[in-house]
Amino acid sequence: MSGPHHDTGPDGGQALGPQQLGAYFALMEAVSMLQHQVEQQLRTEGDISYVQFQLLARLATADGPLTMTQLADGVVYSRSGLTYQAGLLEKAGLITRGPSPDDERATLVAITEDGQALFGRVLPGHTEVTHRLLFEPLTDDDVHHLGDIMTRVRDHMRAQPPRSAAPRKRRPSPVSSPLPSAQA
């Protein structure tokens, strides 16, 4: 058993072994395919994108309204992207945006009944696709391993310091993600 060795290679770079290359490629391709299929399903059944689904999911499982910043965390990389998507969702009547009583510069976002209804309508299909494509060929043991491995990787990545200076101060309030968060 070897530990998590990460020696710097003799050539200055880190060479990836065949085992690692295979894992890397399979991982990226499989996730890419899964994402694509999930998008198809969400578009077909609910006419929403994966990003919009994630936003609805966050709002549906949150206790109350969220600010734009809280909502964006882990779903999109830019605030402007969230502004755009929130505009679409609001226009569709799935969410509402209103000023915060405390901070008038903040915008509180809440899910509407239509939004919850839509979320409930597409969730089974989402689950079905995920199950059929991802979990069907896996044993319980595999799932356990996968979760353990990817959780460790994710936490490791989160702990990595940003390569460049933070353009703006980050909000260190990591909310327990009850729903899919694509990235931080």
Partner DNA sequence: CCGTCGTGCTTCGAAGTTGAAGCAATTACG
Partner DNA sequence: CGTAATTGCTTCAACTTCGAAGCACGACGG
Question: Contacts with a second copy in 101-120 (CB under 8 A)?
Answer: 114, 117-118
Contact 108, 71 (CB under 8 A): no
Report the distance separating Cα 38 and Cα 35, nearest Å.
5
Burial class (CB in 10 A: 0-12, 13-18, 19+), 130: middle
Q: Which of 92, 95, 99, 6 is nearest to 59 (CA)?
A: 95
Contact 56, 119 (CB under 8 A): yes
Q: Does 132 bind a second copy (CB under 8 A)?
A: yes
| Binding to DNA in span 103-132, by CB under 7 A | 103-108
Q: Enumerate residues 6+ apart whose C-beta is below 8 A from 79.
A: 68, 69, 72
Q: For DNA, what does the binding mask look like between residues 60 and 99, x meaning CB under 7 A?
A: -------xxx------xxxxxxxxxxxxx--------x--
Q: Does 99 bind a second copy (CB under 8 A)?
A: no
Q: Does 93 bind a second copy (CB under 8 A)?
A: yes
Cβ proximity to DNA, 68 vs 135, nearer residue: 68
Report the residue from 112, 177, 180, 181 that binds DNA according to the rule CB under 7 A: 177
Q: Which two tokens stand for residue 34?
A: 């899964």
* Residue 27 identity (one-letter amino acid): L
Q: Enumerate residues 6+ apart whose C-beta is below 8 A from 35.
A: 50
Q: Does 6 bind DNA (CB under 7 A)?
A: no
| Binding to a second copy in span 50-69, by CB under 8 A | none
| Binding to a second copy in span 33-52, by CB under 8 A | 33-37, 40, 44, 46-49
Q: Which two tokens stand for residue 148?
A: 């353990």
Q: Does 180 bind a second copy (CB under 8 A)?
A: yes
Q: How far is the CB of 154 from a second copy (least distance, A)?
A: 4
Q: Which residues bind DNA (CB under 7 A)?
A: 49, 51, 67-69, 76-88, 97, 102-108, 167-169, 171-172, 174, 176-177
